[in-house]
Structure 1
Amino acid sequence: MNKIHFRLVYNRKKKLNKYGEALIQVEVYQNRKKIYISTGIYVNPQQWDTSRNKIIHHPHAEELNRMLEEFILELQWEELKYWKRGIPISLSVFRKLKVHSDTGKMTFLHFGRNWVEQSSRKENTKKNLLTTLDLLNHFHPSIGFEDITYSFLQDFENFMHQKFYETNTIAKHMRQLRTFVNEAIKRGYMMAENYPFRNYQIKTIQSKHTFLLPEEIRKLEQLNLSSSSESLTHSLKAFLFCCYTGVRYSDFIRLNEKNIVKLKGGKWLMFKTVKTDTEVSIPLYLLFQGKALLLLQEYKQDLNSFFRLKSNSSVNKDLKKIGIMAQIDKHFSFHTARHTNATLLIYNGAQITTVQKLLGHQSVKTTQGYSEIFSGTIIKDLKKCKF
């Protein structure tokens, strides 16, 4: 039998769409003949590495490269089925597969990924949705639309419990699965009368924000990482910067030197948040003795490099190592920096409305969730009282 070769091809037609992006296709080659199958994934030229045939510098690079690998694996699996049966295979088989996909006979996961990539949702929302699809793929790799039933929801929930996911994390994934189901119904892939969430209740509990205490922040500030990798040091300094400023990961990686503005006698950080599209102005020189400015000073030769941080999940792995090295007996992630910032500001006497403005919250009720009282606050407040 004549072997078929598969390879990824980017922007074959040398033409970008209105968003400045081009399509990634799979070239299927046999006997000097070839056809091209669309992956449905578009990226801009700066996000494609021609030498390695993979996506780079994209907020969802890991997930998208995994999707491309799975796409080719499915094509190879189709070829293998013919080989096992001793049946000659030609390119026409893959032409039929393409038509099959275009008529909508696809798996639930492929539908979900295609929809996410083509949607106009914010990048952080897309990343969260893709995370749920990855988890679904781990639970059941070949989900059909007809498989999404009330029993499936219960089984998926139990699967996450077995993986020791927290109740609210499970709720987040179930809400995102519900988003996919709703979209599948709108597009006619599922019947509304079979809506699986009709009798299913998504369970949540009131969560407590994890934050670092002042002494834990000091441990991180004093930690010597001179013998560690530059990447580990970068993750620590970026985390501390966000402890001092309250900036989210999604906003941090979009900052550049133009966001640092000299105003009213000092330097300010000014930007628009990704999550809420809110203008935020942070007086760096007034917060935490200007420690954020000292960190920026270390990168003054190439300030933009400070904000070019690796993926959130990779940074969180670094922070786990850093926490152990600093002897902090508490699990914390990059987002803990935001909770820490808000909690310490309130501890040091900042008004809720001030913290609201600094964090870019649209409602003060959101900010009030950060105003947990720890023992240091109680002692500090009581010392001010005259009995």
Structure 2
Amino acid sequence: MKVHLRKKKLKSGKTSLYIEYYKGHTTNSKGKVVPLRDFEYLELYLITSPETAAEQRKNKEQLELAQQILAIRKAEVYQGKFKIQNNHKGKVSFLDFYEQKKEERYQTKGNYDNWDAAQKHLERYCPKHMTFNEVDVEFIKGFKKYLDTVAVTKSQKKLSQNTKHTYFNKFKACLNAAFDEGYLKENLIKKVKGFSMGESTREYLTYDELQRLSQTLCKIPLLKRAFIFSALTGIRWSDVNKLKWSEVRDEGMDDSGNPTFRIVFQQKKTEGVEYLYISQQARDLLGERKDSKQRVFKGLRYSAHMNLQLLRWCMAAGITKHITFHSARHTNAVLLLENGADIYTVSKRLGHKEIRTTEIYAKIIDKKMKEAAYLVPNLNIE
């Protein structure tokens, strides 16, 4: 970028002083080269044809002031290019900057909810008017300690290892961005080790448990249909809840004479469009087709009452595991792998962006294989 002081003669007879930022050029749709420029009008003016000593002195003062502003602007460009901390940026509020970075994620849908949740803890820990000039290693270590020993959930429970990992990573991303944009002269976050990722327990139902659940009365039939549908398809609660009839495709018979059904929907979590074939039994759970704009599971909603009824339904089926609606998705992944589906297919059906996310389920299967080695009773060998 090149920065120049420019002059423009006005109709009033005065000459306006402004700064031009030249950012190179581009080519428009007609193939014409177009320069890329920004302008900063200084509201400083020269008398075009000074006649008195006073007017000449006034012009000199205005021009000197414009030159000083030009020098500052050139320094700011230099600081941005070579990542030198800008003194003005050092006075920016850390929490205001975090808010800005969070809102950028809202525009791109990039983990906005996690950024928002982490912000609530940052606001409890960080002084409201703290600036980047005050950010140091002790501040960073202090937030890590806060997450580890002080922070609690809405239900007043300590944060899980993975939650601490997630929140600290958002804090880390904010500080990395601050360094890249010249708010910090040193990337301090590199001096503090974050939280390691914990291995979470993924509760799921075995085939026998799912069978028992299917044959057990549930106080809310709609909940039962939705949960079993999720277990048969692997679709998340959020996508089951918002599923509309326009997204359900009855595609007729395939070459073998079997009916084919598919749902085409946009995942709420990843915003990726999924084309998912479902079984006849899964389609039957949806019931008769209704208006295309209507929700398939109309009346289903997330609530403490619904969660309680899910647990009571499981208990009635003799299942003592702590089952949530998301357990249905875990159940689908495990059942697919146990019945011969390869991990790539399972990953695609679940809509995972990375295969390593699906590999967690493969570890569950390996554990079951090891347990199976001891199912056969010991022999009396002589």
Which TM bucket (shorter chain)? 0.5 to 0.7
CA distance in 1, matches of 2:312, 2:185: 50
Please say if 1:294 is aligned against 2:280: no
Q: Are residues 300 and 203 of structure 1, via their aligned partners in 2, closer, same or farther at CA, if it must alter by over 3 Å?
A: same
Q: Are residues 118 and 350 of structure 1, via their aligned partners in 2, closer, same or farther at CA, if it must alter by over 3 Å?
A: closer
1:305 paired residue number: 295
- The secondary structure found in structure 2 opposite 1:149 is helix
Does the CA contact (< 8 Å) of 1:242 and 1:341 recur in 2?
Answer: yes
Gaps of 5+ in 2: 1-88, 377-382
- The secondary structure found in structure 2 opposite 1:345 is helix
Q: Are residues 268 and 132 of structure 1, via their aligned partners in 2, closer, same or farther at CA, if it must alter by over 3 Å?
A: same
Q: Give the C-alpha shift of residue 276 in structure 1.
A: 5.5
Give the letter for the 1:246 counterpart. G
Give the letter for the 1:260 counterpart. V
Q: Deviations over 1:192-239 (max 9, x none)?
A: 42624522232223344322223443454345444x6xxxx6555433
Give the letter for the 1:329 counterpart. T
Please say if 1:256 is aligned against 2:244: yes
Please say if 1:199 is aligned against 2:192: yes
CA distance in 1, matches of 2:125, 2:206: 38
After the TM superposition, which residues 55-204 of structure 1 pair with which residues of structure 2 at under 5 Å, given as runs? 108-119=94-105, 122-123=108-109, 125-137=111-123, 142=128, 144-145=130-131, 146=134, 148-160=139-151, 163-187=157-181, 190-193=183-186, 195-204=188-197
- The secondary structure found in structure 1 opposite 2:321 is coil
Does the CA contact (< 8 Å) of 2:246 and 2:292 recur in 1?
Answer: no
Give the letter for the 2:141 counterpart. Y
1:217 paired residue number: 210
Does the CA contact (< 8 Å) of 2:239 and 2:268 recur in 1?
Answer: yes
Give the letter for the 1:155 counterpart. Y
Does the CA contact (< 8 Å) of 2:213 and 2:313 recur in 1?
Answer: no
CA distance in 2, matches of 1:134, 1:299: 43
Q: Are residues 261 and 170 of structure 1, via their aligned partners in 2, closer, same or farther at CA, if it must alter by over 3 Å?
A: same
Aligned-residue Cα RMSD (Å) equals: 4.1
Q: Give the C-alpha shift of residue 326 in structure 1.
A: 2.5
Tell me whether 114-123 or 331-340 shows the greater mean CA deviation.
Answer: 114-123
Q: Give the C-alpha shift of residue 117 in structure 1.
A: 3.1
Please say if 1:322 is aligned against 2:310: yes
Gaps of 5+ in 1: 1-102
Q: Are residues 354 and 160 of structure 1, via their aligned partners in 2, closer, same or farther at CA, if it must alter by over 3 Å?
A: same
2:338 paired residue number: 347
CA distance in 1, matches of 2:277, 2:128: 51
Same amino acid, percent of matched pairs: 26
Give the letter for the 1:126 counterpart. Y
Q: Give the C-alpha shift of residue 335 in structure 1.
A: 3.1
Q: Are residues 149 and 293 of structure 1, via their aligned partners in 2, closer, same or farther at CA, if it must alter by over 3 Å?
A: same
- The secondary structure found in structure 1 opposite 2:202 is coil
Q: Deviations over 1:134-168 (max 9, x none)?
A: 34445568473446432222222222489333212
- TM-score normalised by L of structure 1: 0.55
Aligned pair partner of 1:359 in 344, 350, 360: 350
Q: Give the C-alpha shift of residue 343 in structure 1.
A: 0.4
Q: Are residues 316 and 354 of structure 1, via their aligned partners in 2, closer, same or farther at CA, if it must alter by over 3 Å?
A: farther
CA distance in 2, matches of 1:303, 1:348: 36
- The secondary structure found in structure 2 opposite 1:305 is coil
Larger Rg belongs to: 2
Q: Are residues 329 and 114 of structure 1, via their aligned partners in 2, closer, same or farther at CA, if it must alter by over 3 Å?
A: farther
- The secondary structure found in structure 1 opposite 2:250 is strand
2:65 paired residue number: none
Does the CA contact (< 8 Å) of 1:299 and 1:305 recur in 2?
Answer: no
Give the letter for the 1:167 counterpart. Q
